[in-house]
């Protein structure tokens, strides 16, 4: 999956957690979330963030837009860093596997 598709999934899960999707699109995202533990954690993260922001809005209706923007930016950065970590771990495993194969260190050889 390329980075654009991962970003699109991230946005769809966020929209689902915010209750912005309906019908077939919501069911597609539900299936996506149920298929992956990472997506489940991301959906839970979004739900907690939305709850926190709504509580902040109730306690202080004049909460500055900067606070909301900051929270959303942090969520996107956190998700981006998690995806980057996953990518780098995957690449590292591939290179390590190739190196062990090249050196003949695999079991059974």
CA-CA distance, 54 to 50, in Å (whole number)? Answer: 6
Residue 43 three-state SS: helix
69, part of any domain: yes
Q: How far is CA 10 from the centre of its chain?
A: 5
Number of domain units in the chain: 1
Token representation of residue 40: 């489940």
Q: State the pTM of this model.
A: 0.48
Range of the domain at 13: 3-103
- Tens of pLDDT, residue by residue over 64-103, are 666 667 777 777 777 777 778 888 888 888 888 888 888 8
Dist CA 75 CA 42 (whole Å): 10
The SS3 call for residue 21 is: coil
CA–CA gap between residue 76 and residue 11 (Å, rounded): 9
Does any domain span residue 10? Answer: yes
108 assigned to some structural domain: no
In a domain? residue 109: no
- CB 12, CB 26: distance < 8 Å: no
Looking at the domain assignment, is residue 99 inside a domain? yes
**Residues 36-66: pLDDT tens digits?**
888 888 788 878 777 777 776 666 666 566 6
């Amino acid at each position: 999956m390329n980075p654009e598709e991962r970003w699109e999934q991230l946005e769809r899960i966020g929209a689902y957690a915010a209750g912005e999707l309906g019908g077939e699109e919501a069911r597609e995202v539900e299936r996506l979330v149920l298929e992956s533990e990472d997506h489940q954690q991301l959906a839970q993260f979004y739900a907690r963030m939305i709850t926190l922001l709504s509580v902040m809005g109730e306690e202080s209706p004049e909460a500055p837009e900067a606070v909301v923007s900051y929270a959303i930016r942090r969520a996107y950065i956190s998700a981006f860093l998690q995806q980057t970590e996953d990518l780098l771990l995957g690449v590292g495993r591939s290179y390590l596997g190739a190196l062990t194969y090249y050196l003949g260190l695999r079991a059974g050889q």
